[in-house]
Chains A and B, each alone.
Chain A
Amino acid sequence: MIDLLGYPFMQRALIAAFVTGLAAPVIGTYLVQRRLALLGDGLGHVAVTGVALGLLTGFAPTWTAVVVAVLGAIAIEVIRERGSTSGDLALALLFYGGLAGGVMITGLAGQSAAKLQQYLFGSITAISVTDVWFTIGLAALILLLGVGLLPQLFTVAQDQDFAKVAGLDVRAYNLLVAVLAAVTVTIAMRTVGLLLVSALMIVPVAASQQLARSFRATLGGAVVVGAGAGVGGLLLAGWISVRHDASVAPGPTIVLLALACFVATWPVGAWLRHRDRLRQPFPAGAVAPLEATDHDDHDHGPACGHLAVPHDDHVDYVHDGHRHARHGEHYDEH
């Protein structure tokens, strides 16, 4: 295990997995907030075409993937804004167009399927020093914008009409999120592969929002889960590969580890939500009070036989399916 860490390729891979795990969930949080969890997937498929164009033209596939994914992101945002096609239909069009285009162009380029496979499922252990710097640079950009503009991006995703009246340029912020998602896709492409890109953006958010009550906590938790799964998954894959002399790909291991975090937090989250609902069983404040006409026979008290429920500074009595609280000459409904 320690030997494994001594290899330069492993060190590079660890750095790449860590910064990707940090950056991807930041944008993922905004996508989940806008209920666009699958946008990353759509952009991943579009990036396949970008990679294939790189293979065809001889440019670095990473750069052509960035360009094509950004163009795809802008296209989907424009389609959504015009409202001529619904968001999920536009996504579906991207999905299929991107994947089919990528496979076809790779064939035209005469490249073997194995070359494309590197990008589809990740090749983090083959990452070069230049690629590591490229990943760090883009991840820093995503973190800077995603965290620095948090109040604005949060408001726009939460309520577009309100954001517009507040004077925010809603279209610019929407485009920014889409473009950053495209950039995230291309940096995560080396780590987990284009087909699993979205998982690194979305699954950590799904795990952390089980326990979080606030947006900032969700985002922070997702970053921790993302970075932890990135590093942990890579080490786990390395350890299994060495131990059992198998070749376990790091990408799927990272995604499965993130999913395991979700599976672990979900029951806790379900219990927490259940407890929160129990905390306030009745709305605060009195509902229309009833005259105490049907209480001539007795006053509510410890011995009257009606169930006593402590409520703030007084005691309510359950009476015919209502909760009665004495208020002067009558009982209020609580």
Chain B
Amino acid sequence: MSTTSPVVELRDGAVAIAGRPILRHVDLTVRPGEFLTLLGPNGSGKSTLVRALTGLRPLTLGSLSLFGTPIAEFRDHHRLGFVPQRASAASGVPASVAEVVASGRLTRRRLLRPAGRADRAAVTSALELVGLADRARDSVATLSGGQQQRVLIARALAGEPELFFLDEPTAGVDLPNQRALAEALGTLSSTGSTIVLVTHELGPLAPLVDRTVVLRDGRIVYDGAPLQLDDAHGHHHPDPRRTDHHPGVVAPLDRTGEDADW
């Protein structure tokens, strides 16, 4: 494989769920090292597109290749890192942060073999990259929502993949955690990883993006340079009253001392 051949190549992709078309005529090519963000309103098919690209959702039409291999024959799972859209990393039984992250290492481990030194080192460095190395032995349930998202990213990192799919990792995450996330993704991107990010709001991630794809009603309506969506907040001293991305949607009673100037 030459270095310039695309890591993701989707041609005329279509996805239907229960007979209802969700994606239509989607052509998407992602080249190595790109930081691509998928934007679009709710229901525009962003998540479905990512699920199709990871192979979770079968295509009803079209063809998809990852690293030059058709998806049906793709077996190099360790080259993929996936951060699914979920609110929490916890489940019915306590699990330590290190255990959750270690499960991302399974793509490189063989059945019925204990974890080796390389596996443990990968877990440690993944946790260091997201800034949670000191919480490795804690139960994930005791972490905040934003920290749990960072755990999920560390889990994807642990397999040392080349291509990352992240589905709304910043949803419901507070600003400090978004910054920590942006820092980790920035490090990843600078080491040559390819990143495909689904998001509603870029926030501190905005400076990292080199290409934006906008979906509407299951079609790509824009594919090109990053859009200037909003004023670049994330600076050291943003307007403290305006950290919400939807200015009209705040609880009026929270801010009784302020003038509502929207």
A interface vs B, CB < 8 Å? 29, 32-35, 37, 148-149, 151-152, 154-155, 157-159, 161-168, 205, 209, 212-218, 273, 276-277, 283-291
A157 engages B176 (CB within 8 Å): no
Pairs across A and B, CB under 8 Å, 25 listed: A32-B92, A32-B93, A34-B92, A149-B111, A151-B106, A155-B103, A157-B91, A159-B86, A159-B103, A162-B84, A163-B103, A164-B55, A165-B55, A166-B159, A209-B93, A214-B96, A215-B93, A215-B95, A218-B94, A285-B180, A287-B174, A287-B175, A288-B238, A288-B240, A291-B237
Q: Chain B residue with minimal CB distance to A288?
A: B240
User: Which chain B residues numbered 216 to 253 have a C-beta less than 8 Å away from chain A?
Assistant: 236-238, 240, 243
B155 engages A162 (CB within 8 Å): yes
Question: What's the least CB distance linking A284 to chain B, in Å?
Answer: 7
Q: Once bound together, how far apart are the Cα atoms of A217 and B77, in whole Å?
A: 29
Q: Chain A residue with minimal CB distance to B54?
A: A165
User: Which chain B residues numbered 69 to 107 have a C-beta less than 8 Å away from chain A?
Assistant: 75, 77, 80, 82, 84, 86, 89, 91-96, 98-100, 102-104, 106-107
> Which of A161, A218, A284, A289 makes the CB contact (< 8 A) with B84?
A161
A214 engages B176 (CB within 8 Å): no
Question: What's the least CB distance linking A218 to chain B, in Å?
Answer: 5
Q: Once bound together, how far apart are the Cα atoms of A154 and B98, in whole Å?
A: 13
Instruction: List residues of chain A with CB within 8 A of the CB of B51.
Output: 161
* Given A149-B111, A152-B106, A158 contacting B240 (CB threshold 8 A): no
Q: Once bound together, how far apart are the Cα atoms of A33 and B93, in whole Å?
A: 5
Query: What is the 8 Å Cβ interface bit string for chain B, positions 163-183, against chain A (1 contact, 0 not)?
Result: 001000000001111011000
* Given A154-B103, A290-B240, A291-B237, A159 contacting B84 (CB threshold 8 A): yes
Q: Once bound together, how far apart are the Cα atoms of A167 and B78, in whole Å?
A: 8
Question: What's the least CB distance linking B168 to chain A, in Å?
Answer: 13
Q: Chain B residue with minimal CB distance to A161?
A: B84
B93 engages A152 (CB within 8 Å): no
Instruction: List residues of chain A with CB within 8 A of the CB of B82.
Output: 161-162, 165-166
Instruction: List residues of chain B with CB within 8 A of the CB of A209.
Output: 93-94
Question: What's the least CB distance linking B201 to chain A, in Å?
Answer: 16
A165 engages B94 (CB within 8 Å): no
Question: What's the least CB distance linking B99 to chain A, in Å?
Answer: 5
| Interface check B146, CB cutoff 8 A | yes
For the A-B complex with A158-B103, A159-B86, A285-B177 known, give 7 more contacts whose Cβ atoms are closer than 8 Å.
A35-B91, A161-B56, A167-B77, A276-B142, A284-B176, A285-B179, A287-B175
Q: Once bound together, how far apart are the Cα atoms of A212 and B106, in whole Å?
A: 23
Q: Chain B residue with minimal CB distance to A164?
A: B56
Instruction: List residues of chain B with CB within 8 A of the CB of A205.
Output: 93
Query: What is the 8 Å Cβ interface bit string for chain B, positions 137-173, against chain A (1 contact, 0 not)?
Result: 1110010101000000001100100000100000000
* A29, A159, A286: most-surrounded residue (chain B CB, <10 A): A159
* Given A159-B84, A216-B99, A33 contacting B155 (CB threshold 8 A): no
Q: Once bound together, how far apart are the Cα atoms of A285 and B102, in whole Å?
A: 26
Instruction: List residues of chain A with CB within 8 A of the CB of B107.
Output: 166-167
A214 engages B103 (CB within 8 Å): no
Instruction: List residues of chain B with CB within 8 A of the CB of A162.
Output: 82, 84, 103-104, 155-156
Q: Chain B residue with minimal CB distance to A212?
A: B94
| Interface check B112, CB cutoff 8 A | yes
Q: Once bound together, how far apart are the Cα atoms of A216 and B99, in whole Å?
A: 9
A35 engages B111 (CB within 8 Å): no
A152 engages B95 (CB within 8 Å): no
Q: Once bound together, how far apart are the Cα atoms of A324 and B35, in whole Å?
A: 37
Instruction: List residues of chain B with CB within 8 A of the CB of A32.
Output: 92-93
* Given A34-B92, A288-B175, A291-B237, A154 contacting B77 (CB threshold 8 A): no
* Given A165-B80, A285-B179, A286-B176, A158 contacting B159 (CB threshold 8 A): no
Question: What's the least CB distance linking A171 to chain B, in Å?
Answer: 13
Question: What's the least CB distance linking B164 to chain A, in Å?
Answer: 11
Question: What's the least CB distance linking B157 to chain A, in Å?
Answer: 13
A158 engages B95 (CB within 8 Å): yes
| Interface check B25, CB cutoff 8 A | no
Q: Chain B residue with minimal CB distance to A216?
A: B99
Question: What's the least CB distance linking B13 to chain A, in Å?
Answer: 17
Question: What's the least CB distance linking B179 to chain A, in Å?
Answer: 7
Instruction: List residues of chain A with CB within 8 A of the CB of B109.
Output: 151
Q: Once bound together, how far apart are the Cα atoms of A286 and B84, in whole Å?
A: 27
Question: What's the least CB distance linking B221 to chain A, in Å?
Answer: 27
Q: Once bound together, how far apart are the Cα atoms of A149 and B111, in whole Å?
A: 7
* B54, B91, B98: most-surrounded residue (chain A CB, <10 A): B91
> Which of B56, B96, B102 makes the CB contact (< 8 A) with A213?
B96
Question: What's the least CB distance linking A158 to chain B, in Å?
Answer: 5
A151 engages B137 (CB within 8 Å): no
Instruction: List residues of chain A with CB within 8 A of the CB of B111.
Output: 149, 152
A285 engages B176 (CB within 8 Å): yes
